[in-house]
Structure 1
Amino acid sequence: MSSFFDNDSPSNLAEYSVSELSGSIKRTVEQAFDQVRVRGEISGYRGPHSSGHAYFSLKDDKARIDAVIWKGTMGRLKFRPEEGMEVIATGKVTTFPGSSKYQIVIETLEPAGAGALMALIEERKRKLGAEGLFDPARKRPLPYMPRVIGVVTSPTGAVIRDILHRISDRFPVHVIVWPVRVQGEGSGNEVAAAIEGFNGFAVDGPFARPDVLIVARGGGSLEDLWSFNDEAVVRAAANSQIPLISAVGHETDWTLIDYASDQRAPTPTGAAEMAVPVKADLEAAVSARSARLKAAVTRRMDDRRQGLRALTRALPSLDQLLALPRRRFDEASLGLGRGLQMNTANKRRLFERMAAHLRPDMLSNRISERRRTIEERMIRAERVVERSIQRFETRISSADAALRALPARLVGQIHRSRDRVAGLMGKADGALAGDLRRWRGEVMAQDRILQSLSYRNVLKRGYALVRDGSGLPVKSAAALSLHQAIAVEFADGSINAVTTEGTTTPPSQKKRPEKPTPADPPKQGSLF
C-alpha cells in the first residue's frame, strides 16, 4: 500500500511543461490584447538592426514596455522614429517565451510630441545656452602633441581599453584615468568632480597636469546617458581650463556636455584619435622634410658654386689690375726728380731771404736795445720795491703802536683766537687728509676698472693688435694691401712686418691720408 501512495500525485492539478505554460500565456495575452494603442516615449532606439527590425522601449514616468517593429512595417512608416520622441503606437501585445518577457509588436506609429525627458533637456539647453556656456568663442583648440592625457570614465568598461589601445597605437603618451560611475544616482556629481579635480592639479605638483581631458562613456539609452545632461557636469566642462573632448555614447547620441566641451568625438576611439597624432605619420613627415631640406641645400650649394665659378671667370687678371697703378707709379717717378729740384731751389731762395735779415750788425743793435730795456725795467723795479718796503714799515709801525695800546683783555682774546685758529687748522688738515685718502681710493678703483677694460689685458690672453703705417688700428683685412708695412703689437712688445698675402684693395678705395687742419699747422724748427 505504501508503494501505491508513493506513485500517486499529491495534487489533482494538471501538469504543464515550461513550453506549454509559456505558449498558453502567449495565446492568452495575444487574445486579450489583440489590438491596443499605447502612448509613450521612445527610449533606447538605435535604428533598424542588421536584419531590418527595430527594437526599443516605450516608457512613461512610471513604467516601461519593450517594443519591436518588424522589417516590413518599418518600410511602411511615414516618419523615422527617434530617441526621446513621444509617439502613439498601435499593435498587439505578445510574449517572448525565450526570456519570459512581454512586448508590443507595433503595426502603426504616430508622433505625439517630444517626451518629458527631451523637453527637460531642451529647457536646460536653452537656459545654459543663454548663459553663454555653449558659445563657440569659449572653446579652446586642442594641443597638437599632448604629453599627458586625463580620462574620466569607468575603469572596468571597454571604453577605457579602447582609448588606451588607440593611444598606444597612434602616439604613446602618459594617461591618467580618474575612475567614476558613468550611470546611476550620483554619477553626474562624480564626473563633475573629476573634471574639476584634473583642473586643480598644479603645474609643478606631484601628479602631472593633463594637457587635454577626455570624458568618455559607451552607448546606451537616454536614461543611461542622463548623467551627462546634468547641469553640474555641463558647467564643469564649460569652466575647464584644460581643453576637453566629449566622447559620450555613439555618433547618434547627443548630450549637453557635447555642446559645452571644446570638441565632440563620435566615439571614445574617435576621441583618442583627436587627442594624439599618428607618430608614424609624424616621423614620415619629418623624414620627408629632412630629405627635401638636404636636397634644397645641395641644389643651393651647386647654384652658389656655379655662380662663384662664373664670377671667378669674370674677374680680371693680376696684370690687368696692376696695369693702371704701374702707369701712375711710372708717371710719378718721372716727375719726382723735377719736383725735388724745384723744392730745393724754393728752399734755397727762402733761406737766402731769411739770411738777409740776420746780419751781425743788426743782431748787435737788437741785443743792445734789449739790454737797455732790461736795465730800465730793473731800475723801476728796485724803486717800486723800495716804496713798497717803506709803506710796509709804516704800516707795521702803526700796527705795533696800536697793539701796544691794546689792553691785556684783548691780548688774551687774541691768544684764544690764535689757539682756535690752530685747532681749526688741525681739523682742516685732518679733513683734507681724509678727503685725499678717499679720492686716492676712488682714483685707484677707477684705475683698476680702466686696467680691466684696457685692450692690453686682451693682448695678454694671446691676441695681437695690428696697426698700419700711420699707427692706426687695422679693423679688417680688406684695409691692407700687398707689401704694406704694418706693426703687430703683442703683450710684451711689438714687431714690424710687411703683408705678403691678402685682399688687394684698388687704389681708388685706399684711405687717403688726412690733411692737417688749419687749426693745427705743422710745427717748424727755430733758427736759433
Structure 2
Amino acid sequence: MSLIEDEPGNTPEFTVSELSGAVKRTIEGEFGFVRVRGELGRVTVPRSGHVYLDLKDDRSVISGIIWKGVAGKLEMRPEEGMEVIVTGRMTTFPGQSKYQIVIEDMRPAGLGALMAMLEKRRAALQAEGLFDASRKQAIPYLPEVIGVVTSPSGAVIRDILHRLRDRFPRKVLIWPVAVQGKASAGEVARGIEGFNKLSPGGALPRPDLIIVARGGGSVEDLWGFNEEIVVRAAAASQIPLISAVGHETDTTLIDHAADRRAPTPSAAAEMAVPVRMELLAWVDQAGGRMTGALAQRIDARGQRLRDLARALPRADTLLDYPRQRLDLLADRLPRALIRGTEQRRVALSDAAGALRPSLLGRTLSQARESLGRRTDRLSIRPIQREIVQGRDRLDTLTRRLEEAGERRIEAPSQALGSLSRLLETLSYKGTLARGYAVVRSGEGHVLASKAEARDAAGLEIEFADGKLALGGSAPKSSGKGKAAKPKPEQGSLF
C-alpha cells in the first residue's frame, strides 16, 4: 500500500502561482473581449477613484472593476439596481483566486432600464425637497439682463434672440456649453453657478433671469440634463431660472428643479419678456381709463359740492345775526359806560363822605391803641404795603375815572365841532362871504324877485360884513322943508 502511494504519477505538478497564471492566460485567451448584460449590485468607489461593482443576474455574480481613467469618461454613473450592458476584458485576480471583468464601456440596457434609473433618481431628489414648490422663485416681469446657458452655434440661441428682439429687446449674456455628451452636465452646472457668482453692478452685469435651453432629442441626447449635478445647480440658483430643454413632450429632471418650465426655447423667451407693443397699448388704455375715472370722480365730487352748497345759507345771511348783535351791543356800550362811571362815582362819594376828620381821628387813635397792644405780634410793613397798594389802586381808579370823563366830554365836543363845521358849510354866511347878498323888506322878509323889491316900502341888504338899509320911512328933515331924494344909484342894485 505504501509503495503504491510513493510512486510518482503522470499528472504534472504546478505551483500555486503557475496554476493561477495558467488559469489567467486561459480565461483572457478565451474571453479577451466580451459584452455582458446584467444588473449592477454592490457599487463601491474608494478614494483611489476606481469603481468596484458586481454584475449579476438571477443565478450568478461576476465582479467588475472600472479604472479611474475610464470611469471619468463614462456617459453614465453606475448605480446599484441599474440594468446595463458592459464591454470589457475577462481576467483573474490571483491574490484571491477569483475572476472579474475589467469594464471599458457601460450603457443602459434599453430605454426601460434608463427610465427606471431616471425615476429612481427623481424620487431621491424629490425626497430631499429639491422639487418643492416653496423653493420656486417668481420670474421678473421685465428683466434687464438675461443669461442663456446653451450652445452658441445651434439654432436654439438664434430662436431665443429672434423672439426677444420681436417682443421686447433685452441685454443677453450667453454662457457657451456642450448640450450633449459626456461633458454636457458639468458645463451646464458650471454655467448656472457662474452666472450666480457674478456681482451685481460689476463690469459684467449679473443676469436677472437665466434660461437653460436645448433643442429636442432622444432620452440619451438629453441625459446630461438629468444628471444630479445639473439638478442641484438649478435648485441652488439664486437667480430665477427657466428650463427649456427639448420639445413639449420631453421632460428632464432640471424641469422639476427650475422655477419655470418652458415647452420650447422660443416659449422660454416669451415667458421672459412681455410684448412691447402690447405693453404700450395696455399702458395707453390704462392711462385713458385712469383719466376718465379721474374726470368722472371730479365731476361727481363737483356735483356733490354744488348740491351741498345749495343746502347751505349764504354768507351774508350767516353774518346778519352777528351784525345785529354787534349793533345792539354797540348801542348798549355807551350807556353801560355811563352807568358804570356813575356807580363808581357814587361809591367814591359814599366812601369820601364816611372819611370825616373826627371819625378818622378816632379811628386812627383806636388803631394806634390796638397797634400799640399788638406791636409785639404785628408788623407795620404789611400794613404799609397794603396802604401803598391801596393808594396805587386808588390812583389807578382815579386816573381811569378822569380818562373816562375826558373821553365822555371829548366825544360830545367832537360831535359839536362836526355839527358846527357842517352848519358853517350849509349856512348862507359862507355864500355871503363869496360875494353874494340877501335882500329883505323893511319888515324883515326875504325878497326873492324884482317885483317884490319894487313893491317893498324899504329894503335891507345883508352883506358878509354887515347890513345896509335903503328906502323905508322918510329920512330926517335937512332944514329946508324937503325930504332928501334918494340917489338914482340906490334904486339900481340888481
TM-score by structure 2 length?
0.51
| 1:300 to 2:167 alignment | no
1:52-93, CA deviations, whole angstroms, 9 ceiling, x for partnerless residues? xxxxxxxx8479xxxxxxxxxxxxxxxxxxxx996xxxxxxx
- For structure 2, the 5+ residue unaligned runs are 1-36, 38-83, 88-107, 376-388, 396-494
RMSD over equivalenced CA pairs, Å: 3.3
SS at match of 1:149: strand
| 1:527 to 2:381 alignment | no
> Matched residues in 2 for 1:288 and 1:262: separation?
32
Which AA in structure 1 matches 2:293? Answer: A
Which AA in structure 2 matches 1:173? Answer: R
- For structure 1, the 5+ residue unaligned runs are 1-38, 40-59, 64-83, 87-113, 379-521
SS at match of 1:324: helix
Which AA in structure 1 matches 2:255? Answer: D
> Matched residues in 2 for 1:128 and 1:318: separation?
80
Out of 230, 234, 239, the position equivalent to 2:236 is 239
> Matched residues in 2 for 1:245 and 1:296: separation?
39
The structural deviation recorded for 1:295 is: 1.2
| 1:194 to 2:155 alignment | no
Q: 1:218 to 1:61 in 2, by over 3 A?
A: farther
Number of the residue aligned with 1:75: none
The structural deviation recorded for 1:361 is: 4.0
Which AA in structure 2 matches 1:243? Answer: P
> Matched residues in 1 for 2:391 and 2:133: separation?
89
Number of the residue aligned with 1:347: 344
Q: 1:319 to 1:175 in 2, by over 3 A?
A: closer
Which AA in structure 2 matches 1:149? Answer: I
SS at match of 1:133: coil
Number of the residue aligned with 2:141: 144
The structural deviation recorded for 1:161 is: 0.5
Number of the residue aligned with 2:150: 153
Which AA in structure 2 matches 1:239? Answer: A
- The count of residues paired between Structure 1 and Structure 2 equals 280
Number of the residue aligned with 1:212: 209
Q: 1:224 to 1:164 in 2, by over 3 A?
A: same
Out of 164, 169, 181, the position equivalent to 1:167 is 164
Q: 1:164 to 1:241 in 2, by over 3 A?
A: same
Number of the residue aligned with 2:223: 226
1:81-121, CA deviations, whole angstroms, 9 ceiling, x for partnerless residues? xxx996xxxxxxxxxxxxxxxxxxxxxxxxxxx62211211
Number of the residue aligned with 1:115: 112
The structural deviation recorded for 1:372 is: 9.9
Q: 1:187 to 1:296 in 2, by over 3 A?
A: same
| 1:251 to 2:253 alignment | no
> Matched residues in 1 for 2:199 and 2:156: separation?
27
Which AA in structure 1 matches 2:202? Answer: G
Number of the residue aligned with 1:360: 357
1:27-50, CA deviations, whole angstroms, 9 ceiling, x for partnerless residues? xxxxxxxxxxxx9xxxxxxxxxxx
1:257-303, CA deviations, whole angstroms, 9 ceiling, x for partnerless residues? 11111111100001111111111111111100111111122222222
TM-score by structure 1 length?
0.48
The structural deviation recorded for 1:338 is: 4.5
Tell which deviates more after alignment, 218-227 or 354-363: 354-363
SS at match of 2:224: helix
Q: 1:318 to 1:196 in 2, by over 3 A?
A: closer
Which AA in structure 2 matches 1:274? Answer: M
Number of the residue aligned with 1:266: 263
SS at match of 1:146: coil
Which AA in structure 1 matches 2:302? Answer: R
> Matched residues in 2 for 1:185 and 1:311: separation?
82
1:174-194, CA deviations, whole angstroms, 9 ceiling, x for partnerless residues? 111000011112111010011
> Matched residues in 2 for 1:129 and 1:523: separation?
102
Query: Whose Rg is larger?
Result: 2
The structural deviation recorded for 1:524 is: 9.5
SS at match of 1:356: helix
* Identical-residue share of aligned pairs (%): 55
Q: 1:326 to 1:137 in 2, by over 3 A?
A: closer
- Check conservation: 2:85, 2:109, Cα contact below 8 A: no
The structural deviation recorded for 1:214 is: 0.5
- Check conservation: 2:196, 2:238, Cα contact below 8 A: yes
Number of the residue aligned with 2:70: none
SS at match of 1:176: strand
> Matched residues in 2 for 1:371 and 1:524: separation?
20
1:201-240, CA deviations, whole angstroms, 9 ceiling, x for partnerless residues? 1123221111111000011111111111111001101111
1:117-176, CA deviations, whole angstroms, 9 ceiling, x for partnerless residues? 112111111111111111121111111111111100000000000001111111111111
Which structure 2 residues correspond to residues 78-157 of structure 1 after superposition, within 5 A? Answer: 115-157=112-154
